[in-house]
Amino acid sequence: MRSFHRLSLLPAIFAGVLLTTSLLAQNGNFLKDLAAWRTQHTADLLKPDGWLSLVGLEWLQAGDNSVGSAPDNKIRLAKGPAHLAVIHLEGDAVTLDPPAGGFPQDFLVAGAPAKRQSLRAEGNKDKLAPRMIIGTLNLYVIRRENRFALRVKDAQSPSITGFHGLQWYPPNEAYHVTAKWVPYTPFKTITLATLVGTKYEQPVPGVAEFVLASKTWRLEPVLEDPTVAKLFFILRDTTSATTTYPACRFLYTSLPTNGLDKPGELVLDFNRLENPPCAYTPYSTCPLPPAANRLPIPLPVGELRYHE
């Protein structure tokens, strides 16, 4: 009878082992995927044109804006030719002109030798701006509302050469949640404020509803770039007062299971909350979270403050 009793328990024991093995495998995959994402996130920051390379943001004045390392330039660079170029701003038109001695021979604009030309600068579409390259410097013009600025990056910036690593909360799978996706038909539009005092509009395709701490919460993402299959959440939680960047953190996710225009599901892994560029450099222009995305609860996961 005893042997029969032990045999009768084998299926339950076997099922328990399988369940434990499955949970361990799932947890292992979660940790492995998160570690890979953190590694890639760090590598992106350290790219020659990543956010840690940003060393300058110079707002253009109407008329000529001379650029170079000499003291007589309106925009003085920390390194590079004494007189690199003149950026002329007239209304909404930005033009690249040569300095008195001509463009330096190794100065490239969009991969070609520099010449007198107009410079494309569209509001909050920085990727479209032609890159001006000389040595380790990478410069381009950005637009924020009716203001234009020259953004300066350096592949050998002090932030890159002095990089001391990122700080993270410990992984916590409880903050890897599946949300319900509720589409907006049509998309709504919100106005985002930035840390530099400007504003811009972004489309909001829907809302993600999820449960944490036995309560339901809602977050609205913006569709930052329609050509990229990602949603962009700008949010803030109560850890911003103590351990995370005070203004906000960012979360990028894949698209919902049934697309943007149909109800579906969406994975929110708050372990992948990352700092905005403004956490690393004062030369960035970062959006602030809309009121709907300011959660009255802590999210003790993801990236911690960089400078502490």
CATH number at residue 82: 2.60.200.20
pLDDT at 256: 98
End-of-domain residue from the set 112, 135, 161 = 161
Cα–Cα distances (Å) from 217 to 103, 190, 241, in that order, read 56, 19, 20
Say what the pTM is: 0.86
Q: Is 54 exposed, middle or buried (0-12, 13-18, 19+ CB in 10 A)?
A: buried
Beta carbons of 221 and 203 less than 8 angstroms apart:
no
Q: How far is residue 198 CA from its own chain's centroid?
A: 18
β-pair partners for 268: 177
* Cα Rg of the chain, angstroms: 25
Helices then strands, counting H and E runs in the chain, come out as: 2, 17
What is the reported pLDDT for 18?
Answer: 38
pLDDT of residue 157: 96
Per residue of the chain (308 residues), give pLDDT as tens.
444 444 343 333 333 433 333 434 456 799 999 999 999 999 999 999 999 999 999 999 999 999 999 999 999 999 999 999 999 999 999 999 999 999 999 999 999 999 999 999 998 889 999 999 999 999 999 999 999 999 999 999 999 999 999 999 999 999 999 999 999 999 999 999 999 899 999 999 999 999 998 999 999 999 998 889 999 999 999 999 999 999 999 999 999 999 999 999 999 999 999 999 999 999 998 999 999 999 999 999 999 999 86
CA distance 79 to 178: 49
* Alpha-carbon distances of 227 from 181, 224, 266, rounded to whole Å: 20, 9, 19
Which residue, of 128, 161, 194, is where some domain finishes? 161
In this structure, is residue 184 part of a structural domain? yes
Same domain, 38 and 178: yes
Residue 289 and residue 210 share a domain? yes
Nearest to 251 by CA among 229, 275, 279, 227: 275
What pLDDT sits at residue 148? 96
